Amino acid sequence: MDHAELTTDQVLRRDIPWETYMSTKLISGTSLQLLRRYDHRSESHRAQLLDDDGPAYVRVFVHVLRDIFKEDTVEYVLALIDEMLAANPKRARLFHDSSLSDEDTYEPFLRNWFIQEKSCKILALIVSARPKNQNGVVSNGDTSKKPFTTIDDVLRALVKWLCEQLKKPSHPNRGVPTAVNCLATLLKEHLVRSSFVQADGVKLLVPLISPASTQQSIQILYEACLCIWLLSYYEPAIEYLATSRALPRLIDVVKTSTKEKVVRVVVLTLRNLLSKGSLGAQMVDFQLPQVVQSLKAQAWSDEDLLEALNSLEEGLKDNIKKLSSFDKYKQEVLLGHLDWSPMHKDPLFWRENINHFEENDFQILRVLVTILDTSSDPRTLAVACFDISQFIQHHPSGRIIVADLKAKERVMKLMNHENTEVTKNALLCIQRLFLGAKYASFLQA
């Protein structure tokens, strides 16, 4: 059978020749006794054994993974550990028991990448179960115990493998869910956040944030949003989120999702991001205030969600008060997604703000011109042509500046566009380029 298609149940049906391993001195007599007591027993029986002597069984499992290389056996022991932790994730603390201080409990899982998937899930739980001191700070143990595998080695190896799974899953159905599930556990770690951002991992998560319908896709969506929430506490990740499509995707999800846990984690994420850079202004542009009002009208049982919605609503109101009309316009242009919001066709807006277009060496005008080349959205192209025509009309040197930016050639191409809204506004822009501001007032939009 293809190892990628193996299930835990299938692996656990195997009979492993433990006696043979003892006769060849790959396991000790004590290990054999423990394995006989544990192997192929009921869940309740195993639970009692782990309650009575959990660290001893962990030591045996780690020794088998370290000393035996037969793939069937490695898979079997990984399945035993996976089953043990799935029944009770708190058992991951057994790997940090003081009686195991002389064991390298990380290395066998890194070496045996069924195997990669199980190792990753198990390691994520073991790492997150590290003991904390009285101040809540995670202890990394005695770093003098070389050549033991350090926690930093483990985390970097995990992040590398998880990013590879998001890029090119080794299993078509389980690769991505496993990676997202592990990241939702591991991104609490500062080193994981920094390594993940450095590996360009954020852009691999963003496509997973989209409305979901099936149970599996809802779980992946929830865990992907949970990852974004964890990253919203890390400044370098926020810088990437601000320039990606993460924000509109989060808002689309919160508008359409009926799952309370999904709505809660997205709202908490938006609340975290509200005060970061231009994200508050972008939220206003994406009509998040209206979305929040709609959400508040629904019957939610989670008090944290209701509190977060109220907090988000107040923060959005403050942002609306602070934003000038040109700030809103600037955010829309920089996002590269234009629509016929009222300011575009408001003569007063253009008269009052035309000088702002000169800021940063005509940055906003340059972006408008770039949009003509890069956007495939007809509405965005039409509005960009119209706005350039407005700049020509209202700026004293508008025609010369636009010509210097080589906009004419780009607009001319759009006159052959299949969309009539685009061709109409491209024609208007060309007319104003040729006629200049003096005659522009005679032309109708």
Query: Fold identical between 165-323 and 326-441?
Result: no
Integer Cα distance of 341 and 339 in angstroms: 6
**Between the CA of residue 12 and those of 7, 15, 54, 82, what are the distances in Å?**
9, 8, 20, 11
Q: Which of 204, 209, 243 is nearest to 224 (CA)?
A: 209
Integer Cα distance of 411 and 141 in angstroms: 64
For domain 326-441, give the fold: 1.25.40
Task: Indicate the angle between helix axes 378-394 and 359-374, nearest 10 degrees.
Answer: 140
Which residues, given as ranges, of the chain have pLDDT below 70? 1-6, 110-117, 132-149, 323, 436-445
Q: What is the pLDDT of residue 56?
A: 95
Q: Are the beta carbons of 87 and 43 closer than 8 angstroms?
A: yes
Residue 140 exposed, middle or buried by CB count within 10 Å (0-12, 13-18, 19+): exposed
Instruction: Please give the torsion angle defined by the CA atoms of residues 263, 265, 267 and 273, in that order, rounded to the nearest 10 degrees.
Output: -150
Q: What is the pLDDT of residue 157?
A: 81
| Domain 165-323 classification at class level | mainly alpha
Q: What is the pLDDT of residue 134?
A: 55
- Domain extent listing, the chain: 1-129, 165-323, 326-441
Three-state SS across 159-197? Answer: HHHHHHHHHCCCCCCCHHHHHHHHHHHHCCCHHHHHHHH
Integer Cα distance of 311 and 408 in angstroms: 47
Q: What is the phi/psi pair of residue 134, to 5°?
A: -65, -25
Give residues with Cβ within 8 angstroms of 144, minimum separation 6. none
